[in-house]
């Protein structure tokens, strides 16, 4: 059982992982870049910045990494073990 970002817990993510936090930064642009970098540092790959609000001190952000997109092979479904690959 492997997904794009495989692992015993990640493979059980139904669809997406969201990360919400506050990043200290000096501009909205820097905040956005840091948010994307955070996704990579957390091994979530390329994340989508779903929400961001820069307030002068930092940015309130919500990031999303898709683990299982619709129509993908869902590792949590356990289909592969029953049928074999392919």
Partner 1 sequence: MKSILCVPLDPVHDVGIKLIRSALAQRGHRTELLSPDLPAEEVVRRAAAEPWDYIMVSRTLGYGVAEILARFVDLLDAAGVRERSKIVIGGKPVTSELAAELGFDRGFGEHSTVDEVVAYVEGREAGAGATAAARTKPDVTAGFTYDVRHPRVAELLSTITERTLAWAQARTTPALRRVRLREAILDAPEAERNRLWQEYHTLCDGPIAEGNRDGSLPQGVRRVREGEARALRALLAERRAVGARGIRHAGAKPLMFKFLGSGCPVMDIVHAKVCERYGLDGFLLINPSWEARYEGLLDGLLTHENDGTITSEQNIRLVRELLDPASLLTVRAHRGLNTPETVLLAARAGADLTKINLVYGSLGAGTDPERLAVDGLEAMRIAARHGMGFDIPGNDELSGVPAWKSLAGQLATAAIGCALGARPILKPLFCYGPHIVLHGLMADNFVDYNLAKVRSLRSLVDAPIWPGEPIAFMTQTEDRVQSANATSYHAALAATAGVEAITVASTDEAYSRGPIALASRIDSIRAVADAYRFMGGAQLQPTAGVDGFTQRITDGIVTTLEEVARHESLPQAILAGALGNAEDGAYPGTFGRGSVTADGR
Residue 48 interacting with partner 1 (CB under 8 A): yes
Residue 9 interacting with partner 1 (CB under 8 A): no
Interface stretch with partner 1, choices 3-11, 21-29, 32-40, 72-80 (CB under 8 A):
72-80
Which CB, 12 or 40, lies closer to partner 1?
A: 12
Q: Are 16 and 69 in contact (CB under 8 A)?
A: no
CA-based nearest residue to 15, from 52, 66, 62: 66
CA angle 50, 43, 28 (to 5 degrees): 35
Interface stretch with partner 1, choices 9-17, 25-33, 36-44 (CB under 8 A):
9-17
């Amino acid at each position: 059982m492997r997904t794009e970002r495989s692992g015993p817990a990640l493979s059980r993510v139904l669809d997406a992982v969201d990360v919400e936090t506050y990043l200290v930064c000096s501009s909205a642009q820097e905040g956005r870049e840091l948010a994307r970098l955070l996704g990579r540092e957390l091994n979530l790959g390329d994340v989508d910045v779903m929400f961001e609000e820069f307030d002068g001190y930092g940015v309130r952000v919500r990031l999303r990494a898709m683990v299982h997109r619709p129509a993908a092979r869902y590792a949590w479904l356990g289909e592969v073990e029953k049928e074999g690959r392919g």
